[in-house]
Structure 1
Amino acid sequence: MLCRQQHSNHTLRSGAWDVLRAVRDHKWSIIGAVLLTLLSLGLALAQPLVVKRLLDSVMAGPLQSGVLMLLVTLFACQTGIQVLARYVLARTSESIMLGLRLRLIEHLLRLRIPVYNQHRIGDLISRPGTDVAVLRRGIADGVTHAVTGSIGVLGAVTLMIWLDWRLFLLVLAVLIVAGTIVVTVVRGIRTASLAGQRAIGSMTAGLERALCAIRTVRASRAEERESKTIGQAARSAYTASVRMAKLDSMIGPVGELGVNGAFLVVLLVGSLRVTTGDASISDFVAFLLYMTYLATPIDAVFQAISTIQHSRGALQRVNEVLALPREREPVTARPATATPAHTEGEPVLAFRDVWFGYHARRPVLHGVSLTVPPCCCTALIGRSGAGKSTLFALAERFYEPDRGQVWFRGEDASRLPLADYRARIGLVEQHCPVMHGTLRDNLSYAAPDACDDELHRVIELADLGELIARLPRGLDTDVGEHGTMLSGGERQRVAIARALLTKPDLLLLDEPTAHLDAINEAALTRTIRLVSTECALLIIAHRFSTVRAADRIVVLDAGRVHTAGTHEKLLDTNSYYRNLAAAWSANSDNRNGDGGGRDTTADRTGVEW
């Protein structure tokens, strides 16, 4: 447990370093903004001294126009420099946030697959958005104002002590009281800020979950329930924000009260000192001016403390994401330009005594060994939970085996660069994700540089010609969010065409006929036969027609390879497979008797292994 805690602290520190690196990349712009702010502050601090000299000259003789012009020049220069400093600071802060957002986006897209299973996607999405927006104030405004405000306070205090140290002691006593109150108030701001950011993340995740399944929500009449659940997170965010507002609203007035209180004390005590001759009127006026100028940097420091506390919760959430493990290339990987050596007839993919479990001491695969020959269609069948999808995940290296090895083209897959390895393996998922954009965008997603001839080749292979012909803009037709403008079977064929466009050595098909009717199923079976002449196929099959069309069949049972062979051989030699084939045939007859050739729920339930 101690080791896990130390690891967590180390990763959070690493995440904090990533955030600081985003600031470090813009250090010269920040330094420039700070120097401009300090120059503006120096001009402001010089003004009371010029006023003191102007009063002394008036009391001694005629008004000196040069001193008056100097005062006017100081005012004008201060204003211009302050405007420039604020612009540089605002632009720099936006650049910092852009860099941090880009780092977060790049990191989120490269996380290890198990991480996505352990976190809500909507909450992860909120980190580059709302969390970085809150963090912007802390990094840019808070830190800069804290530095410039502190230097401003130090400069004003130094000059006030030089003018009248006794009056300054009175000012210090009042400000200590105000500062003690402020420190007490800001202690609760960070906790409230973190609670608010987490509530916003939960709200975003809940809304993303409901909108992605909006048809199911409507069909289940669950709008009110989802609204209440998501609204509860919104109310939690509101409660935290109100608490922060209550605490934050006290900081400014307390700071102003301290400065104004000190000003009144100085006004009363200083007037008495001027009356008794212990201080000159010019020194007293200069001291009062410094009191008014002191209000701005003190307020900046107090507000900076509040802003930094606001952003610390967001910083923690950003650090948590940057500390999440991401996919990394193997240390011993060969150069990406190299091509794995292989001999004729050598398996494209091989599992050698592979053990794997998603949780410790709960293995899903138990010493699985199987091969996928080149230019061959291999069907993978078995009961639900037998480990078929897990084998696909290991083949794509979304996970790594706990024991054993996965070999690709005669080489240990764990030594191959991920991008190079995955470029040679096509994957068609069961749910066939189709992304927002045009049909052309989706087809060429894995091969964006593919030419029209290559597109037409896979369109013909996947039998998409009729679909494209009836679309209003052909390949350039928008398919809608998640491909809602396409039917389930059309999305399946789009996914197959997309995978084929990369000309893979191995094509993984997760139940490719799941959304197809009898006619399209027969057409796809012909397509599979044709594709198997170009590359190896490994298919998770639930339909008897798919299994019967395969060159080889591998039967999984409880995470182990039960048997393997051709359809005819298994019928002759394996009673387990014969019983399975008999059940498939019976369900196929029932489906044909129902007349639609449709993949009904009863059919799928009967044949899903």
Structure 2
Amino acid sequence: MTERRVRFTDMLRLASGHRGTVVVAVGLTLAGSGLGLAQPLVAKQAIDAASGGSAVWPMLAGLAGLFLAEATLGALARFLLERMGERIVLGLRRSLVCNLLRLRMRVYDEYRTGDLISRVTTDTTVLRDVTAQALVELATGGLTAVAAVALMLWLDPVLLLMVAFTVAGAAVVVSSLLAGIRLAGERTQAAIGVVAADLERALSAMRMVRANRAERREADRIGERLDSACTAGVRTAKLASVMSSAVELAVQGSFLIVLVVGGMRVAGDAASLGELVAFLLYASYLVVPLSTVFRSIGLIQKGMGALVRITEAMDLPIERDPPPVRSPEPGDAPALELRDVWFGYRERPVLRGLRLTVPRRGQVALVGRSGAGKSTVLALVARFYDPESGEIRFDGQLADALGRDECRRRVAIVDQSAHAVHGSLWDNLTYAVPGADPGEVARVIGLTSLDEVVARMPGGLAGSISDRGGTLSAGERQRVAIARALLTRPSLLLLDEPTSHLDALTEADLARVLAAAAGECALLVIAHRLATVRHADQIVVLDGGVAAATGTHEELLGHSALYRRLVASQALAAPDVTRGKV
């Protein structure tokens, strides 16, 4: 992933859509700070009045009122900022999710899923704290400190100069740590992303992990990632603790200087006790906001590290299409054509000028050795990837002109993994057609012999399916995937090893289903088993990325040595249960 740098202005831009809330929150905070700045003056007058024997109750009541008003305004401002932070994070997460779901397929091949997920969760959470607290505290703390300095200058310039030297020393320490805090924050977030990726890797393959007794190895692997995250976190904590100590020393040093030097000045009649108390309170109004500013700067640096990772994810290439061309009537054009198509993965060529035609009706089967390019053909037809050269046409129209969405409207695909998602059986069947007619759903259930599955499941069609379809057998997931594809009534149905998890009887039922479907749409099937391919209208033998031979089963047995070897090596000569022949 290309390294990306962000600036402070990029952080400010996050709140650009919430200017009204920011203005109100800053206004409330400043109003509360103003009330706080008035309190030392009231306290000074109360002390001086008590020293002169005057009544102090009105001033004490006014001081209590100032305290309550300041607390109320502060609480309201904090609520507005927290709500703004949540909404900013919501917008970021929505944008990230939309972006991650539209990435080019090559990106999913190159980057780890868990790390991408952590950018939506962990990294955005860090930014929430920045937008909800740090940015506004930086502004209001700075303004409050400026006002406090002005009042302290009016009360006692000498004490102010001493306090300024103490604060300046802390500022030097903090500024020297900022770059390290930002880098450590980036490393911490990256390490957490790797932990999430490794954990997702193990959990998604838990059957394999458990079967191979690899729980300890996976735990050790993830433990090493956790150690790296801990090391990065400790580095961040070390820098943050040094910064906090510098700020605390500045706070304590300032108070000690004011107490000692101010007390000496009061003892020498150079200042009144009320002025000392007022100056001491103003020192707190200077040092505390400045400490908030310093901490906010550190948090912003961590947030910029998180923003780098979020921006990198947002910059990943997504699928983009030109405006689709209006589709004319297909006429007699083939449902699918591949013309001189070349394609490879990471400089490893797979297809080398492939030519393939699938008519509008009937079944075309692809056979070949592993790595011949069969699944790659389906991936290109489904528009998961774009060919490096050559043309793909649907109904005589260029795929690029139609756009991915229009191409995928015409195509349904059933791949080897037979995906099932968490939800009800109905949700899985109607995933591509959420508003499907119950009669249509019943039709595809009957076609794919899912009646028994529906009857057996608690709740029937409303029965729950676990993540990755764990409550269904492999064959049942395969039939659900086929039913889902048929429900869309596609013009081109792609099937990658559709019978790989089916028993002989169900396979025979499926063969009849595919024969019926071939009368309504085009079928392009990848298979190794004879019952799936022998009655295809056309069989294409792939070898070396090209169509090495084409014909019916009987024709290929007569003139293709490669097909005969495939039949022999892959046990394609199994009994034909659909017609009672061998």
Counterpart residue number, 2:580: none
1:426, 1:506 within 8 Å by CA — same for their partners in 2?
yes
Q: Which residue pairs with 2:120 in the alignment? A: 128
Instruction: Check the 8 A contact 1:553/1:567 in 2, yes or no.
Output: yes
Paired position in structure 2 for 1:474:
460
In the alignment, does 2:465 pair up with 1:465?
no
Helix, strand or coil for the counterpart of 1:561?
strand
**What is the CA–CA distance in structure 2 between the aligned matches of 1:14 and 1:478, rounded to whole Å?**
47
Of the structure 1 ranges 434-443 and 286-295, higher mean CA displacement relative to structure 2 is found in 286-295
Sequence identity of aligned pairs in percent? Answer: 47
Residue 356 (structure 1) aligned with residue 356 (structure 2):
no
Measure the CA separation in 2 of the matches of 1:377 and 1:527.
12
Deviations 1:426-462 (A, max 9, x none): 0101110111111111000010000110101111121
C-alpha displacement of 1:223: 0.8
2:412·2:493 contact (CA, 8 Å) conserved in 1? yes
2:283 is matched with 291
2:330 maps to which of 332, 342, 363: 342
CA contact (8 A) 2:167 2:287 kept: no
Match of 2:377 among 391, 394, 397: 391
Measure how far apart 1:469 and its partner are: 2.1
Shift of 1:57: 4.7
The answer to whether the aligner puts 1:543 opposite 2:529 as a matched pair is yes
Distance 1:76 1:382 in 2: 81
Are 2:79 and 1:87 equivalent residues in the alignment?
yes
Q: Are 1:112 and 2:112 an aligned pair?
A: no
- How far, CA to CA, are the matches of 1:305 and 1:149 in structure 2? 11
Name the CA distance, whole Å, in 1 between partners of 2:573 and 2:359: 31
Q: Which amino acid aligns with 1:476?
A: A
What corresponds to 1:215 in structure 2? Answer: 207
1:582 to partner: Cα distance: 4.7
AA matched with 2:207: R
Which structure 2 residues correspond to residues 268-417 of structure 1 after superposition, within 5 A? 268-330=260-322, 332-334=323-325, 338-343=326-331, 345-360=332-347, 362-417=348-403
2:131 pairs with one of 133, 139, 144: 139
- For 2:359, the aligned partner's letter is P
1:491 partner amino acid? R
Cα distance in 1 between the residues matched to 2:467 and 2:43: 67
Aligned pairs (5 A) from 1:242-261: 242-261=234-253
1:27 to partner: Cα distance: 2.4
Which residue matches 2:39? 47
Give the paired residue count.
Answer: 577
Deviations 1:527-561 (A, max 9, x none): 11011111110001111221212111111111111
The answer on 1:489 being equivalent to 2:480 is no
User: Is the 8 Å Cα contact of residues 126 and 201 (structure 1) preserved in structure 2?
Assistant: yes
CA distance in 1, matches of 2:544, 2:529: 20
Task: Work out whether residues 44 and 74 of structure 1, in 8 Å CA contact, stay in contact via their aligned partners in 2.
Answer: yes
- Corresponding residue number in structure 1 for 2:412: 426
- What's 1:499 paired with? 485
Letter in 1 for 2:339: R
- Work out whether residues 15 and 322 of structure 1, in 8 Å CA contact, stay in contact via their aligned partners in 2: no
- CA distance in 2 between partners of 1:243 and 1:115 (Å): 32
**2: CA distance between counterparts of 1:59 and 1:301?**
37
In structure 1, the residue matched to 2:436 is 450
* Counterpart-to-counterpart distance in 2, 1:195 and 1:24: 28
Residue in 2 that maps onto 1:35: 27
- Matching of residues 198-213 of structure 1 within 5 Å: 198-213=190-205
Per the normalisation by structure 2, the TM-score is 0.93
1:572–1:187 distance in 2 versus 1, CA, 3 Å? closer
Q: Which amino acid in 2 is paired with 1:134?
A: V
Consecutive unaligned residues of structure 2, counting only runs of 5 or more, are 578-582
Question: Relative to structure 1, is the Cα distance of residues 460 and 22 closer, same or farther in structure 2, using a 3 angstrom cutoff?
Answer: farther
Q: 2: distance between equivalents of 1:471 and 1:72?
A: 67
Matched residue type, 1:333: P
* 1:184, distance to aligned residue in structure 2 (A): 3.0
TM-aligned CA distance change 1:583 to 1:35, over 3 Å: same
In the alignment, does 2:145 pair up with 1:157? no
Quote the Cα distance in structure 1 between the aligned partners of 2:151 and 2:315: 47
Contact 2:6 2:307 in 1 (8 A): no
- 3-state DSSP of counterpart to 1:254: helix
Match of 1:184 in 2: 176
